[in-house]
Structure 1
């Protein structure tokens, strides 16, 4: 049984399953377009379980668009701390500011106008329009492309941006006109919980319509070319404290990677000399290795090793660096790799002295 011949039955099967089985997520209990906007931005490149507490804290702190517009960047980054991809929250604030100033705090309900807002692409626009306003607009993300590619045996490469148009056209042909919100969310939910990279086909409510399932080819879809091998950069970080038990950190540049977030001294390793040798020769500081891990960005990976050490006496502190107490470090907005280092530091301090 194919979708193209049984659109009504397909919609009925998908919607009845979604309304019966959907997860209870906080952003599904509102039609406020601002709240849905926040949730969609948070959900980009982040797992649902991770987003829930962030979303609830964020909405509690910035319950209106006006409160978000007035927020200080440091406060904003602190609320986003740990979610990564910090340009998302900066763009969110900019886009919301446009709505407050140009649309009287009313999120526009047309694809043309909403797509002109900072940080809103085709998927986010469609999600807000269909979920908040009940408009039959496509909202095609990776989950939806995986579902539709299997249902219709679409073998176009989803790594090519123009391929998304094919899926958008399919959705506009299939979408339920009476409940586009549940239809779009049903496809997303199906892709997130059942039609996963390793599909659970026996649990699928629409498998009778799935051409890939009928041919036993579901794991061949979607077709996606492999990414170019990511650049790996060896990095050393230094969690250094002075004799007052204050920690040395600096604020990163206003532009570029992890802009305006705070970090321990950090260097990219371009020579064979080890960080411990550098510190001993240049600063007369003995270092102890704290932890090693990899942190993956969208375009590169940090192969990061962190060291800890005590700065004794009167060492000259480089420009831009400052000492902070434990409490002050807690309050600074920090990127994910620095959070990981700081958590390890705190565990060691607790283990060593119980403080």
Structure 2
């Protein structure tokens, strides 16, 4: 497939119409994001990490909690791993918090306390992929970039490819090419969140086509109007007793106990969670996994949140001259 030729097939009048309709929709309905208009690279990085695999309502909650606790790069970088994970709380995918913490420490040590703006440097930071890189460039540095998430993929895949569930069906490279073509000049900081909001509220997994402002030019609409059954984008799994369920339980206990050296030994923690022997075997393995992911520490038979309070010291990852806010 020649991506450029496919994109060039999109009528210019349709591009202008889509831009006009969505910009008008944004003025009335879009949720304002606290990182949207102030060109703050730190806020943009935190927002990008929070947005990974997370619904918008949760993103705002996690972002606000993080910025209140760590209003500057220095405060976050100089925090302990346990403090970072406690602030992250039960937001899910806590490995993101560890990666964010490491990234901020790297920015302190290697980038003079500044979040870099070039793609080559950003993509090397822990937990920073193409999406988060674009978020930093758009909202931190005012660049004209496209940040492709699930919502944007869904909108463009339906509009231009006629796919019902674009996450499973559409070519990601084609979606990227379409997104680049439709991006209004100098408006990336408005356009990207508008699309994310529209995909989260209107063009959802089960779309509200009856109130969609783009329905007249949507290639997927005839299929959707025919009453075709939309297949789920992924199989739903039972959460209770899953690995994620038990990992969350372990971390919750350690967060609440503040993970001091004296708090828990491994056997007591496991027995407090379950008396079932099979479950205890699972919990033992999950504890080892959490330690490998640097979410908890293990020492002899003791267990705690984040870095080991003795062997790692509080700020072992930061240079001895701690960064001070100017």
| TM-score, shorter chain, exceeding 0.5 | yes
Q: Say which of 8, 33, 38 aligns to 1:30.
A: 38
Aligned partners of 2:198, 2:232: CA distance in 1, in Å?
20
Normalization by structure 1: what TM-score? 0.62
Q: Shift of residue 219 of structure 1?
A: 7.9
Aligned partners of 2:218, 2:11: CA distance in 1, in Å?
11
| Structure 2 partner of 1:312 | none
Q: Say which of 88, 104, 111 aligns to 2:119.
A: 111
Q: Say which of 145, 148, 169 aligns to 2:156.
A: 148
| Structure 2 partner of 1:301 | none
| Structure 2 partner of 1:207 | 215
Normalization by structure 2: what TM-score? 0.67
Aligned partners of 2:192, 2:114: CA distance in 1, in Å?
23
**Equivalent runs, 1:156-305 vs 2, <5 Å:** 158-159=167-168, 163-216=171-224, 226-227=234-235, 250=264, 265-266=272-273, 269=276
How well do the aligned residues superpose, as a CA RMSD in angstroms?
4.0
Q: Shift of residue 35 of structure 1?
A: 0.9
Alignment CA distance shift 1:9-1:233 (3 Å): closer
Q: Say which of 135, 139, 157 aligns to 2:143.
A: 135
Alignment CA distance shift 1:195-1:113 (3 Å): same
Aligned partners of 1:149, 1:188: CA distance in 2, in Å?
14
Q: Shift of residue 34 of structure 1?
A: 0.8
Q: Which has the higher contact order (CA 8 A, sep 6+)?
A: 2
Instruction: Look at both structures and tell me which one has the larger radius of gyration over its CA atoms.
Output: 1
Q: Is the CA contact 1:157–1:222 (under 8 Å) kept in the aligned structure 2?
A: no
Paired residue secondary structure (2:184): coil
Deviations 1:169-198 (A, max 9, x none): 211121112211211111111101111112
Aligned partners of 1:321, 1:151: CA distance in 2, in Å?
51
Q: Which has the higher strand share?
A: 1
Deviations 1:115-160 (A, max 9, x none): 1211111111112212232222221111111111110125496348
Q: Which has the higher helix share?
A: 2
Q: Is the CA contact 2:39–2:142 (under 8 Å) kept in the aligned structure 1?
A: no
Unmatched segments (≥5 aa) in structure 2: 1-8, 251-261, 281-285, 287-299, 307-326
Alignment CA distance shift 1:12-1:41 (3 Å): same
| Structure 2 partner of 1:11 | 19
Aligned partners of 1:220, 1:123: CA distance in 2, in Å?
32
Aligned partners of 1:225, 1:47: CA distance in 2, in Å?
15
| Structure 1 partner of 2:131 | 123
Deviations 1:276-298 (A, max 9, x none): xxxxxxxxxxxxxxxxxxxxx9x
Aligned partners of 1:60, 1:105: CA distance in 2, in Å?
19
Aligned partners of 2:236, 2:209: CA distance in 1, in Å?
31
